[in-house]
């Protein structure tokens, strides 16, 4: 029984690292090597990715960027620069995220979004657009009352 709990705890820790790139509570005595993480990603990466996409459409977990993605994100400042593979590993991208394409821009450019993600993103964009229009309408109506 104790072995099963320990195995589950280690599994959960690997999942956390492959989702975020961090061991937030330093639960591993020795942080796993990239090769260890790669091996675990090969085994459970599809499950992590599927759940991640359900929760955070238009983005990807750390394990995806570290082990499944071979393309480079575009740098908007240095057009010739292929200086980033993923935002987790590059200090420049972490300091200046606006200089690089977002996860969503990257995934759209390379046509890597799933159909369900596209639908979720379309719905989210529609809601945001509707909220923005409603706010603008309310501001216009408020201005009309102030003029009277």
What are the tokens at 8? Answer: 């589950």
Global model pTM greater than 0.75: no
Q: What are φ and ψ of residue 114, in 5° steps?
A: -80, 165
Distance CA(55)–CA(117), nearest Å, equals 10
- The encoded tokens of residue 80 equal 């010739």
What stretches in the chain show pLDDT beneath 70?
1-9, 27-29, 72-99, 140-148
In this predicted model, what pLDDT tens digit does every residue of 78-90 receive, in sequence order? 554 544 444 445 5
Angle separating helix axes 115-147 and 34-55, nearest 10 degrees: 50
- 8-17 pLDDT, tens digit per residue, is 667 888 899 9
For the chain, which residues make up each domain, given as ranges? 1-68, 70-113, 115-148
Asked if 71 contacts 110 with a C-beta cutoff of 8 angstroms, the reply is yes
57/50 Cα distance (integer angstroms): 10
What tokens were used for 93? 């991208």
Torsion sign, CA atoms 128, 129, 131, 136: positive
pLDDT for 128: 87
């Amino acid at each position: 029984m104790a072995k099963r709990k320990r195995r589950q705890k280690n599994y959960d820790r690997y999942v956390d690292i492959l989702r975020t790139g961090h061991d937030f509570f330093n639960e591993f005595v020795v942080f796993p090597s990239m090769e260890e993480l790669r091996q675990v990603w090969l085994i459970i990466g599809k499950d992590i990715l599927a759940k991640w996409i359900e929760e955070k459409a238009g983005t990807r977990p750390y394990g995806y960027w570290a082990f499944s993605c071979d393309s480079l994100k575009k740098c908007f400042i240095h057009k010739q620069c292929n200086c980033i593979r993923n935002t987790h590993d590059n200090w420049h991208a972490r300091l200046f995220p606006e200089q690089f394409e977002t996860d969503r821009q990257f995934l759209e450019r390379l046509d890597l979004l799933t159909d369900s993600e596209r639908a979720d993103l379309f719905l989210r964009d529609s809601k945001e657009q509707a909220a923005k229009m409603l706010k603008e309408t309310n501001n216009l109506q408020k201005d009309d009352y102030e003029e009277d």
